[in-house]
Each structure stands twice: as C-alpha cells, then as structure tokens.
Structure 1
Amino acid sequence: MRGVAEPFRRDVDGLTGLLILAIVVSNAGLMPTAAAPAAVECLFVVAGYLVTVRLVDACADGRPDLVEVVDRGLRRVVPAMLVVLAATTLLAIVVTPPGELAAFGLDLSASVLLVANIRFADPAFAAGHAREDSLLLHMWLPSALLQLAAIGTAAAAAMHRFAPRSLVLPAVGIAAVLALGLVLLSQPQLERPGYLLTHHHAWSFLAGALAALIALPARLPAWGRQGLAACALVLIGLAVLAPPPNGQSLIGTTALGVAAAVAMLASNAHGPTLAGRLLALPPLRLLGLMAFSLYLWHWPVLVGARLFVGEDMPLVESGLAVGIAFGLGYLSWDLVETPLRREHMKRSWRLLVGGMASAVMVIVGVILTASGGLPERNPQTAQLEESLHRLATRSQRAACLASDAALPPAADCTDGPGAASGGAEVILWGDSQGAHFAPALASLARDMSFSVRQITKPDCPPLLAVAQTGRNAADDVECATFTEAAIEEITRQRTTRLVIIAGLWSRLTDDRPIAGADPGPFTLLADHATASESVADSRRVFARALQSTVSEITSRGVPVLLVGQVPELGFDVVTCVLRARFNERDERACMETDTESALARLAFSNGVIQLIADGSLMIEAYLPAHSICRKGRCKVAHGGTPIYADDRHLNDIGSTLLAGDLASMIAPHLFASSGPMPPQRPSRL
C-alpha cells in the first residue's frame, strides 16, 4: 500500500472546480437542482482522496507530523471562512429583521465552531425560519468535510501507532461498506435535515480514501486508463445532471457519481490521461484553486440578493449574482487564501490570531442572539414580528403537538365548558395542518358550550396502516404507534359526537411545485397491498387508507368530518412581510400567490375527501380552499395582517376566519336532539 505518487494533481483541481461550479449554478437556479447533491457527494470523494494522500505522505518516512497536516488544512480554510463570515454578518445586520438576525447569530456561532451541519439538521431550525434563506446554510458542507478530515486524521494517527500497515486498507474498506450500509438503511432524502449530518457522507469520503490507497496497476494498458478516465468523466457529468429519482432518495442519484469520481482519481494515478489533461487546463485549474472561496461567497451573495430584491430573481439577475460571487471568490483566493497559506508567521502565532478571530465571531453571534436580533434597528418591525409570532404560536400549541408516540395530555388540550370532566364531544385529530384549526374550535367550544379535544402530531398523517417510504424507520414506527393510540382513544370515549380529521394531504398526493417554489418534502405512502414507487401508487394508498380510517371510526357510530387542506402559498408570507417592512419595500407583493397551482395541488385529495363523504350519511366534507380562494384569488391577509403562520399553516386569525364554516358543520351533530341550536357565527371570509 502506498500513496499516490503526485500529491498535488492539476486534474484534481479541475475536477474540484467543475463540481463547485455545478453546485453554484444549481443553487442559483441556472441548472437543474439535481446537480447539487451529486456534485456534493463527489466533493466528499475528492476530499477523502486529498486527505488520505497527505496522511499517507506524512506517514511515509515513519515519523508523521500530523500537526503539520492539520495546520496546512486550517491555513487553507480558516482565513477565507472568517472573512466571508464577517462580511455576511454585516449583510445580515443590514437586511434581516430581528427574528432572522437572532437566528443568524446561532448560525454564525455554529459555523465558526464547525458544527453548522448539526445546527441546520436540528428540526427546530427547520421549523424556526426559512431554511433556504439562511445566509449561512451552505456552511454545513465545510463543517461536515472538516469533521470527516479530523476523524480521518485521528484514525490515521491511531493506526500508525497501534496497527500494522497491512490492516489500513481492509479497515478503510470495511468502514466504507458499513457507512454505505448505514445510509441505505436510513434512506436520507434531499429535504430531510438528517442529510446534512456527517455520517450520511462518510461512505463517499471513505471511497475517496480507497482511491488514494489502491492505485490501478502500472502495467494497465494506456488505452485502458484512457478509456476508464473518459468514461468516468462522462458518468460524473451524467450523475450531476440526472433528475432526482422517485421518492427523492439521494443514493441512486449519487452512487454513479461517486463510483465515477473514484475511477477518475485512480485512472490518473500513474500520469495524466486525456481526460485528466482536460481537467488540468489552466482555466479549470484556476477555478479549482479558487473553488473554496467561490463556494463560501456564492450562497451569501445569492440569498442576500433575494433578501434585498424581495422576490425570486430572474435568470439575468441570478447570473449577475453568480458573477459577483466569482469576483469576490477570486479576490478572496488571491488576497486572503494564497498569502496566508504561505508561512509568514510561526505556527503558534497563527493559532493565536486565528483563535482570537474565531472567538470574536462566536461572541458576535451570541450577542446577536441574546439581544433578540438588535430590535432597536427598527422598533416597528420588531413589534409587528412579535405580534405575528403570537398569532402563529396560538395556532400551533406546543403542548398539544405530540413529540413522541404518546397522545397530548387531555387536561391541557381540551377546551370548552366540559373540559374538566375529561370527556370531549368533539375530537380534532390530525398533523400540524389539523392543529391550526384548534383556535377556531376552541372559540366555538366556548361560544356554543361544547368540549373539544386536540390530538395532533406533526408529520404524522391521521391514516391507519400506512408507511411512509424513504422515512426514518423509527419515525415511521412512532407515527404508527401514535395513530393506533389516537384511534383507541377516539373509540374509547363515550361522549364523542364528532371526529374532525385534517392533514397536510398534498405532501402525500402531489409533488408538483407552486409557481416554481419548493413544495416541501413529498412522501410516498405504502401499505400491505402496495409498495409505492410513484405518485400514482401513493395516491391509491392514500385513498384506501383514508377510507379505512374513517370506516374504523364510523363503525362505532361516531360521525366524521373530513377537512381538506388549506392552499399552500409557495412562500412564507410572514417572513415576506417582515422583510418588506424592515427594508421599506411594498408589502403587496407578499399578498399574491399562484392560485391555479395552489389549488391544483389540492385537487386529488379534495376529490377523494368529497367522494368518501358522498358515500356515507355519517361522513361530511369541508374544503377550506372553497372559502379561502374565490374569484381566482386566494386570501392571504385580512385587514392587512397575514392569515398564514408560514406558507401552509393558518395563524390564529386565519383559523378564526373559518369558525363560521366549522360551526355550521358541527352544530347539527351536537344539538340535533337536545333542543334549539345556539346562534352560529357567520363566516368572515
């Protein structure tokens, strides 16, 4: 076993440059978004290769200076990263409202400490603000790469000291297989936060390490190496440009790219091939040399431009933003990276200066978060943000959104005059989409003198005997346990006169975007009869499961009110309004949505709900979209205040606006045999 003969290969620089270029133009919307995940995984291959080559060379003379290996890596990464983080912090202070700036403070501290991927993988981050508009979201990649490099260096030091060299190659191979097995078992998805965690990319990093440890035989014919390299380059291009497979699984999309990247690195180990010479051309090599700085700059420039413009940028503006990122990336590489990679000062001084600068950035992040995002910059926006946050919080009561398989406590999640008795005449069952009807039902319970209990769990549709393909197995089991417990509680209650079922149905039945926006995670449903491989399969499972779930309840003599989903907007209206108010832009653009595509995503689920309701006297259907969307427009605000908490959930105002509709549906079940009905609140929409 030996390292690659030429540690600093020009073709590797060119390959790195092309991969970073694919990520940049994909994030800018200039090419299919499928480019990013495949290119990212190939970057992990290249990183694993380079780290392993340097470690093997450091160990070659028997006395490795691993500290020098780490120091060289930090000189490449830290200076440019700190410059970009400082500039991005100034940008955030100028263009982001208080809540976003407070969240940015956490992002900043995590980025400096190289744990940004852990921060962004936290579900609380995804729920707290718009992930795609976080100025530092891209820092997950350097964090994950450096974590793997640190683990690899520590492992190399341990193996060099305690294990014979003959065990290194088998150990790396076994580790790569185990890491790949972990990914296959967990089935990460593009939208799932877990994709950002380090262990999901260890397999490709270790594949790069194997490419460095196993060189192709020198006696391999030249035409064989030439053909292998050419095929590898073509396959990398195909993997990067391939559309995402059904179910959004990353494994199928990236495995080809990873294998091709390994082949490319190995085929040029004994000298450049024609494909290697192509990658080593001066423009591509320059692109590779400045690739890290370009990557660091591109995301803050793109997001900053969107924050400043206040809307999705056309291709021309996106291209201009990419050009600006290229310019800043080149300057950063030329004026920051290159000079500081040379040893102008002692290692101890470098560590001291770098440590102090990093500490200052962490402290700045803490101050931004602790101060609530410097609300004194714009007190009016801060006041509006607090008001909208209260409205959103009331529509998604944390205590009544189950975090595990246990049902929310009845004492905390039952409203109305009869709440103290422990029984409920109306039960609201659903996911977070169901939860946002709770304020309206609580208000009606007080006005109409009945009790209502909320049984809701985020990302857990109220459907019996289904599995969500591509989902974490533990989450699937937890949801199934919660659903069974909900049915058991519903059928156990003797006081229940009506069960209201509501869910985020489009996530299970339609993968089309809204006016080009990301529709969010789409999950294929499977049951005992169908292992879903397409949207059509998932729709069939949805229809069967909803019918079966409703039948399970009505067979006990309890009527069901099936509630359709509210229209999705394709953007977070609250974030849009706050940014417009903070930057003194026209807020009217935040009140417009693509009604046609929004309603199209609801067409199938609404049709199934109506069909099920038409087939039984004990089932009724309520489709909120018919009230929210009229005359070709969907209502986004009431009296100038948003009725949505984000892009797909109503806030307290939006929920209350539907109270009149809900009252007319509920009243007959509660008062048909007990005297005259109390006055019903008219719909305010």
Structure 2
Amino acid sequence: MQYRKDIDGLRAIAVGSVVLFHAGLHDALSGGFFGVDVFFVISGFLIGRILFTEVAEGRFSILRFYERRARRILPALLTVLLLSYGFARMLLSPLEFADFRDSLLATLGFASNIYFWLHSGYFETANELKPLLHTWSLGLEEQYYILFPLLACVFKSRVWLMRTLLLLAVASFAWAVSSVAKAPDAAFYLLPARAWELLLGAMGAVWASQHSLRDAWRKALSLLGLAMIATAVIGFNARMPHPGFYTLVPCVGTLLILVAYAPGGLASKLLELPPFVFIGKISYSAYLWHQPLFAFWIYRYGKQSFATFSPLLIMVTLALAYISWRFVEEPARKPATTPNKKLALYCGYALVLLATVAVPQKWFAQQHPNEALQALNRIDNLYEYFDFQKNIRNGVCHSVPMPARQANGCLEQRQKNIVLFGDSYAASLYQGLQAARDAQRPNYGIIQLTDGNAPPFFTPGSIDSGAALSEVNADKLKAIAAIQPEKIVIAWMIFGKNSTNDPQQELNQLNATIDRLGQISPHSNIIVVGPFPHWSVSLQKNLITYISAHNSFPRHMQQGLSTREREWDQFFKQHLHKDKVRYLSSLDALCDASGCLTSADGTVQGLTAVDWGHLTQAGSLHLVQRLAPAIFE
C-alpha cells in the first residue's frame, strides 16, 4: 500500500488539536476536541483499505489482522500504562488511586469508553484529572474492529458492501443525533453513536478504490476538506451538540482529503510539510502521553501551575512521543525486528506488573503515624462519606423536574419564603439555610430550585439531565413568579460547564437574570452568594499533601487554593450594584490571611468541602451561620 505523507499531516492536525485543547488553548482552538473525530475517519479509511484489498485478493487472515492491531496498539500503550501506574502510586491518594486502578483495568480490556461513560456524572473526578481518560477512543476503536472484519468477509461484493456500510452509518448517525440531547455522555463515549465516523472512512476506502476524480476537482475538494477541519477546530465549541450534525463538518472534511488525494495541490503541500509529517508519525505516542502527563502535573502542582507550564509539558509530550515511537512503536511493528515470541514476552511482563494495581493504595499510606492523615487516606468515596447526595436532596429537590419538586414538598411555602436558585453549589447551601431557619426563624419556607450544571443564566447550553439551561431556568422563574418570595438566594460555580469563564460576561448574564427577577417578583430581595473556595483536585488531596509535609492539621490553608475566586469576588464587590440586590462574600466568611477554612471543628468529619468546592454539611452550616443575619434580616 502506497505511503501518503499527507495522511501523517492529517494526523498531526488531529493530535495537535487535541493536545493544545487539553493544554488550555480553549479560546484559540475551541473545537480542538474534534481532532479525535479526524482520527476516527483516518482509522476507518486506512484499516478499511487494507482489509478490503486483502479480502478481494483472497489473502485476508483474521489472525494476521489482529496481530497487526496488537503490534500497532499494545507495546506503546502498555509502556504508557506502566509509567502512569508508577506515577499514580507515588502521587495519588487511596481514593484517587482507586479510580485510576479501575480505569486502567478497563483500558486493558479495551472497555474504557464504557467505564468513563458509567463514571461521567457531575460529581465524578474532573476530566483533566483522569490520567487515562483519553483511552476511551482506543476502546471504542477496538470494539469496532472486533465486528468490522466480519462485514468485509461476508459482503465480498463491493456494491453490497457499500450499501451495508451506508445503512449502518446512517443508523449510527441517527442514533447519535437522537441521543446526544437526552444522553450526551452515552452518545459521546459509546460505539453505536460513533461507529458512523469509522464507517465513513471505510466507505471512502471502498469509493476511492473504484473511482477517480479529475486533478482540478481533487485539488479543490482537498482544500475544501482542510478548510472544513479548520472551521471545526477553530470555530466550533463544546456547547454544540456532539456527536451530531456539527461533527459532520470535520469528518466529511477529513474524508474529502483522504479520497481526493491531490499531490501537488495546496492542501497536500501544507500537509506534507516536514514538521507535520514528523508529528504525524509520532501522533499515536503523543496522544497516549499527553493526558497522563497533564493530569499528573495538575494533581501535583495544580491548575494554575499547569497553565504556566503547559508549553513545557507540550514539549515533554513530543519528546516522550519520539522516544516511544523510535524505540517501542517502530520495532514492534516489524516481525523481523520483534518476533511474536519477543512481543508476547514484553506484553506478558507488562501485564504481570500492571496486575499489582490490585494492591490497595492505603496499604502504603497507612504507614504514616498521623491519625488525621490516616483518616483522610481511609476515605474511599468522599460523596458517600459526607452523605452529599442526601444533603443536597439530589433526586428529590435537586436535579428533578418541577412537577417532582411539587410532589416531593420542595415548593412548600410558609409565612415568608426564601428561594434557593442555582446549581449544585447553591444546593449545598440548603443544609445551612435549613439549620438557621429551624434554630430561630421557623416562619421561613426554603424552596429549592437547583439543578446540576445550571447557573442562573439564560445562555446556550444544557444541564446534567440534557435539558436546555434556558428552558430549565425559565421554568424556575415561573415558579418564583407564583411564589413571590421575600428573598432569592443565588449561587453557582463560576468555572462550571455553563459558565462564561469571564467575570464581566458573567456579571452581564447575572444582571440580565436579576432584571428578569425584578419584573416577575418586584418585591423580592436578591442575595448573591459569591464564589466558594476552590481547591485543586480536592480539599482532601491537599490536606493529605500538607499533613504529610508538616505533620499537623491546618485550620486554614493555602495549599492547592485557587486565586481566581478571590479575583472574581473582588470584581463582584466592585461592580454588582443594583436595587434590592446584596452581594455576600463567601471568601470573607471562610478565609483569612493564612488561607481558607479546611474544617469547621478541626477534624476530618468537619471538612468544609466535599471535593474541590461543594460544601459539606459542616461547611454549609459554618458559612450560612455567618451569612444568616444578612439573608434572614
């Protein structure tokens, strides 16, 4: 099969888009994640071309096919997994290591896409902290290639093969479009909604083997394809439904370049530039290395440090990619260099070492004599330990439709009423508000209108349930209009999924919502509760790091504390000035010069944050106790 430099150039664009997007260049490459879709189409085209040719010539062997896949995928993957495992042992807490262990085992079974789909809820670890998250695409591809060779063998007629591929691709695409709104995580991670991208490449391989275009058409279509990929990578963003109609743009663009190969055309000249070809050759290793390298850096040094050092980490990624390509990938692909026995021995040794992942991390951590540190290390699930779902009334009053809130008593009114409006950060204030009410203000009703990933805005985007953010908040405004509460308490996570990530834009959206509230409930006083302290990864993780170094439990701490929240807090203090609106600073209530409060009572049970910022019951009680006079006055 003829080698095409332009395909390596395409791979360079794909991996570069993904790596730079994950490195934080969301403004310049807001659709960088579409690089994975480019990879899918390339894979479908190349594997399809090889497989269809071998079947047509009568020399296809299923064993040889899977041997090639193993040589291509396993050596570099196992190398990255081994080194990631070593860093995980050194850096992760027992809780974090348990997540890593499960994802590693899923990766070895080429089922990590299913694993990450099952663990894609709002209260799971943030994506940038999952070292093996990127392996979801490998799992999906290998599931596809379990089934795909059967099609090539059964439908030897190119006409029937093409019809079958088209039928399956249309069905898969329809599945993606229909499920992306209702079950976006399933659509993103699972094969039924992604198979059409690989099938698109396979159809391109069939078509290209039977048809040829005039040179002018090939040059024009290749250039159009490159422009389509650039449009997706630069112009699209994560708020667009994906996979779906928008995903067609980079996928069809990739297909055009693959089937309309135009040597000497502008697109080919660009893609065949030596830097692109070089990065394309090492693209698989670069893809494997970047996520664990980025994730472990954030674990160890925090997101702000990552933003500063991300250019260096990109260079390290490329260096590691070259080394593993040169000394692992290339030799493993050649049976003459690496016979099957030698390859099997390496994979066997790697799997034996990786099997020790089953040894619990707490066996290592419990050797430290500090009791608080041991207590922190023994927590296997923070949300269960702090009974968080019950505390925010998840599934009862939080993240449920309005009729369910009514049926569950969440809209019960008293002589005076406070509406809690926002996302899960707002929901974590409920325990504190309830305790303050029950202690001295029994005439107040507390009405909870909160949903996961639902800041109090009317911007494009969807909440955890898949419903449109603007529609959900419109329903809440209808409820507020009917209640006419004395107070409306607003809170949200400033860097959440549907945040603008800009304080001025956020203020503009907040003011727009406040204006709407003033129109529908003119006598209500609005209280905006400012950003909560935000810890890198989790408060637990930073306490483990601090106590390990100082052998003492800090009441206030700077370790792992983000400074962005203080910047936004100051901005809101200076600029949020509207009638009947009062701004309350959470940071003023929880923090001092030495840092922010870690525990309400100096114990592990009294930790103030469940994860990176959601309040525990103790944290909620402590914060609201200090804000209560302003809220209930």
Task: Report TM bin, short chain.
Answer: 0.7 to 0.9
Check conservation: 1:392, 1:651, Cα contact below 8 A.
Answer: no
Query: What letter corresponds to residue 567 of structure 1 in structure 2?
Result: P
- Residues 138 and 218 of structure 1: CA distance in aligned 2, closer, same or farther (over 3 Å): closer
Report the Cα distance in structure 1 between the residues aligned to 2:134 and 2:10, rounded to whole angstroms. Answer: 20
Query: Which secondary structure state, in structure 1, belongs to the residue aligned with residue 501 of structure 2?
Result: coil
Query: What letter corresponds to residue 4 of structure 2 in structure 1?
Result: R
Q: Report the equivalent of 2:108.
A: 112
Q: Which aligned pairs between 1:548-559 and structure 2 lie closer than 5 A? A: none
Report the Cα distance in structure 2 between the residues aligned to 1:265 and 1:117, rounded to whole angstroms. Answer: 27
Query: What letter corresponds to residue 585 of structure 2 in structure 1?
Result: A
Q: Report the equivalent of 2:213.
A: 220
- Are 2:563 and 1:593 equivalent residues in the alignment? yes
Query: What letter corresponds to residue 657 of structure 1 in structure 2?
Result: H
Give me the identity figure in percent: 20
Q: Report the equivalent of 1:376.
A: 366
Query: What letter corresponds to residue 539 of structure 2 in structure 1?
Result: V
Query: Which secondary structure state, in structure 1, belongs to the residue aligned with residue 297 of structure 2?
Result: helix
Q: Deviations over 1:386-424 (max 9, x none)?
A: 68948982555268211765858999999xxxx9xx999
- Residues 279 and 475 of structure 1: CA distance in aligned 2, closer, same or farther (over 3 Å): closer
Q: Deviations over 1:121-166 (max 9, x none)?
A: 3356651323212222222222223233334234434545xxx542
Check conservation: 1:108, 1:136, Cα contact below 8 A.
Answer: yes
Q: Which aligned pairs between 1:319-468 and structure 2 lie closer than 5 A? A: 319-343=311-335, 354=347, 357-358=350-351, 361=354, 363-368=355-360, 371-372=361-362, 374-376=364-366, 378=368, 380=370, 381-384=373-376, 389=382, 393=386, 396-397=389-390, 400-402=393-395, 407=404, 431-444=423-436, 447-448=439-440, 450=442, 458-459=451-452
595, 608, 628: which one aligns with 2:588: 628
Report the Cα distance in structure 1 between the residues aligned to 2:460 and 2:303, rounded to whole angstroms. Answer: 34
Q: Which aligned pairs between 1:193-272 and structure 2 lie closer than 5 A? A: 195-215=188-208, 220-242=213-235, 244=237, 254-268=247-261
Report the Cα distance in structure 1 between the residues aligned to 2:453 and 2:297, rounded to whole angstroms. Answer: 36
Counting matched residue pairs gives: 610
- Residues 114 and 188 of structure 1: CA distance in aligned 2, closer, same or farther (over 3 Å): farther
Report the Cα distance in structure 2 between the residues aligned to 1:561 and 1:140, rounded to whole angstroms. Answer: 47
Report the Cα distance in structure 2 between the residues aligned to 1:491 and 1:540, rounded to whole angstroms. Answer: 21
Check conservation: 1:120, 1:137, Cα contact below 8 A.
Answer: yes
Query: What letter corresponds to residue 501 of structure 2 in structure 1?
Result: R
1:437 Cα offset (Å): 1.8
Query: Which secondary structure state, in structure 2, belongs to the residue aligned with residue 400 of structure 1?
Result: coil
- Residues 7 and 116 of structure 1: CA distance in aligned 2, closer, same or farther (over 3 Å): farther
1:82 Cα offset (Å): 0.9
Q: Deviations over 1:298-351 (max 9, x none)?
A: 222233333343453477733332222222222212222222222367769966
Report the Cα distance in structure 2 between the residues aligned to 1:360 and 1:657, rounded to whole angstroms. Answer: 47
Check conservation: 1:79, 1:336, Cα contact below 8 A.
Answer: yes
Query: What letter corresponds to residue 65 of structure 1 in structure 2?
Result: S
Check conservation: 1:425, 1:450, Cα contact below 8 A.
Answer: no
1:359 Cα offset (Å): 6.6
Report the Cα distance in structure 1 between the residues aligned to 2:477 and 2:17, rounded to whole angstroms. Answer: 47
Q: Which aligned pairs between 1:30-109 and structure 2 lie closer than 5 A? A: 32-34=28-30, 36-62=32-58, 64-109=60-105
Report the Cα distance in structure 1 between the residues aligned to 2:529 and 2:146, rounded to whole angstroms. Answer: 47
Report the Cα distance in structure 2 between the residues aligned to 1:310 and 1:121, rounded to whole angstroms. Answer: 25
149, 158, 165: which one aligns with 1:153: 149
Check conservation: 1:428, 1:501, Cα contact below 8 A.
Answer: yes
- Residues 124 and 290 of structure 1: CA distance in aligned 2, closer, same or farther (over 3 Å): closer
| TM-score (norm: length of structure 1) | 0.72
Q: Which aligned pairs between 1:98-177 and structure 2 lie closer than 5 A? A: 98-123=94-119, 126-160=122-156, 164-177=157-170
Report the Cα distance in structure 2 between the residues aligned to 1:74 and 1:150, rounded to whole angstroms. Answer: 12
- Residues 324 and 477 of structure 1: CA distance in aligned 2, closer, same or farther (over 3 Å): closer
CA RMSD of aligned residues (A): 5.1
- Residues 440 and 379 of structure 1: CA distance in aligned 2, closer, same or farther (over 3 Å): farther
Q: Deviations over 1:66-112 (max 9, x none)?
A: 33212211211011111110100101111222322222112211222
- Are 2:298 and 1:306 equivalent residues in the alignment? yes
1:440 Cα offset (Å): 1.8
- Residues 359 and 214 of structure 1: CA distance in aligned 2, closer, same or farther (over 3 Å): farther
- Residues 206 and 652 of structure 1: CA distance in aligned 2, closer, same or farther (over 3 Å): same
| TM-score (norm: length of structure 2) | 0.77
Check conservation: 1:294, 1:326, Cα contact below 8 A.
Answer: yes
Check conservation: 1:429, 1:502, Cα contact below 8 A.
Answer: yes
Larger Rg: 1
Report the Cα distance in structure 2 between the residues aligned to 1:296 and 1:392, rounded to whole angstroms. Answer: 34
Query: What letter corresponds to residue 436 of structure 1 in structure 2?
Result: S
Check conservation: 2:332, 2:343, Cα contact below 8 A.
Answer: no
522, 527, 539: which one aligns with 1:574: 539
1:461 Cα offset (Å): 5.2
- Residues 109 and 473 of structure 1: CA distance in aligned 2, closer, same or farther (over 3 Å): closer
499, 504, 512: which one aligns with 2:492: 504
Q: Report the equivalent of 1:673.
A: none
Query: Which secondary structure state, in structure 2, belongs to the residue aligned with residue 397 of structure 1?
Result: helix
Report the Cα distance in structure 2 between the residues aligned to 1:497 and 1:256, rounded to whole angstroms. Answer: 48
Report the Cα distance in structure 2 between the residues aligned to 1:250 and 1:261, rounded to whole angstroms. Answer: 15
Q: Which runs of 5+ in 2 are unaligned?
A: none
Report the Cα distance in structure 2 between the residues aligned to 1:627 and 1:282, rounded to whole angstroms. Answer: 52
